[in-house]
Amino acid sequence: MLFGVRLIYSILYEGWNVIDSAWNGQALGRAWYSHLSDKARDGLAYLGRYFAHANLSRTIRNDLGFHYRADLLRDPLAQVRWQTDEIMTGKRSGNTFYPFAEEIRALALFQAAVPDRVGTLWGNNATEENIREAAKQLYKAYQPVYEAFNAFANDVLVNIVKSLHPKTEKFTPPHVTKFSEMVPVLFVQEPSLEEAREMDARVSS
């Protein structure tokens, strides 16, 4: 879930960059703004206010989502203590997982979600309840930004498509993906024991 929420915040920031560069003050925006619904205009205005100041989407995108700023991780790394420091690994480097590193990054993410909190979530005064409340804030804070983005983007796309006078045709797909049954691909496929032996034999020869 933390992986997913990092992506949501980061993609919302990148989505705003597209709007800001291709819509705001551009011919596209001037031509289509009058066609927007009130809900879409409100969404666009909300995004403008949100991204005009320091915000969680920008922090996560630049420092904790796709890239990791060392100074945000250094303090919890030095202070957090674990009962065990585990590294899970397979034969492929893509299957190496560092649970303790994920815990450090999770605490930094939670801290970013409650920047006004007195003290850090890894300090002696932090409780499990403090961490739990910060996690809830992280998982909720993106929702109004997401809703504003959808209100604007969906309206723009629908209006542009309608202006093209498209033709519609019903069809039945042969296969339908059930997203409720999908699981994220977090690890790569390991070779079977026989395949691994064959690869080792080729390398040796």
Q: Which tops the pLDDT comparison, 184 or 142?
A: 142
3-state secondary structure of 108: helix
- Calculate the dihedral angle through the C-alpha atoms of 30, 36, 38, 41, rounding to the nearest 10 degrees: -50
50 touches 43 (CB < 8 A)? no
Please give the model's pTM, rounded to 2 decimal places: 0.77
The pLDDT of residue 108 is above 80: yes
pLDDT tier at 82 (50, 70, 90 boundaries)?
low
pLDDT tier at 202 (50, 70, 90 boundaries)?
confident
CA-CA distance, 120 to 125, in Å (whole number)? Answer: 8
Mean pLDDT of the chain: 88
39 touches 159 (CB < 8 A)? no
CA-CA distance, 25 to 21, in Å (whole number)? Answer: 8
What pLDDT is recorded for position 84? 60
Q: Taking residues 99-110, what's their average pLDDT?
A: 88
Q: Taking residues 133-158, what's their average pLDDT?
A: 96
CA-CA distance, 28 to 15, in Å (whole number)? Answer: 16
What pLDDT is recorded for position 123? 84
Q: In which residue are the tokens 């804070």 written?
A: 141
Number of Cβ atoms within 10 Å of the Cβ of 39: 15
The pLDDT of residue 91 is above 80: no
Token couple for 116: 């006004």
pLDDT digits (tens, 9 = 90+) for 47-65: 999 999 999 999 999 999 8
